[in-house]
Amino acid sequence: MGYSFEVITGPMSCGKTEELLRRVKRCIIAQKKVKVISPETDTRTKGDYIESRNGLWLDAITVADANDILHHVNAADEVVAIDELQFFDANIVPVVKTLIDQGKRIIASGLDLDFKGEPFGYMPELLCLADKVDKLTAVCMKCGADNATRTQRLINGSPADKNSPLIMIGGDETYEARCLKCYELPDVKAETRKRGFKLLSFEKH
């Protein structure tokens, strides 16, 4: 018997969706009934499909929230593939448990860390629930190391401030993979406070 819930994770540009599509296409070749799900939060594709960075794509059902997944999966479906797992709300955990109880094979992909290097959404619980986890790495776009594990957000070509919004949809112009050594997370508010304290200290003297 195969795995019930497998998760492919890692930073941007590490090939998560590509690997998801590869596994799904193997299921299709094996004549399994597959349902592919994508959250409407991900607006990078202009249609009902998921697409990897190397151009591979597959038809998908776009859903508004986690509970909506159950409305689209029926008894005949054997495999449920879920892309961009990190964007789903808290109900994704019980939804996945329900699908497991129904005997479905779930193949999912998603970012484990957000742009601040912190656990993304409900991914920690989902990774613990999975019986197979593949954590992929990418090539660091700054130094070329092949062990990039962080997603660097860029705004006008510079590292985004840690106080910027958590979710900001974007492609290669907004995000790039970086290793831990090259990853940057400036904190403008903290730096402003430090400069203010230094100025106050100088004025007192």
| HEC assignment per residue over 127-166 | HHHCCEEEECCECCCCCCCCCECEEEEEECCEECCCCCCC
Whether residue 11 contacts residue 137, with contact meaning beta carbons closer than 8 Å, is answered with yes
In angstroms, the CA 98 to CA 5 distance is: 11
Distances (CA, A) of 15 to 109, 111, 162: 10, 11, 25
In angstroms, the CA 126 to CA 90 distance is: 10
In angstroms, the CA 76 to CA 192 distance is: 58
Q: What is the DSSP letter of 4?
A: S
The pair of structure tokens assigned to 21 is 């599509």
Indicate which residue of 18, 51, 78, 84 is catalytic: 84
Q: Assess whether 51 carries a catalytic annotation.
A: no
Positions annotated as catalytic residues are 84
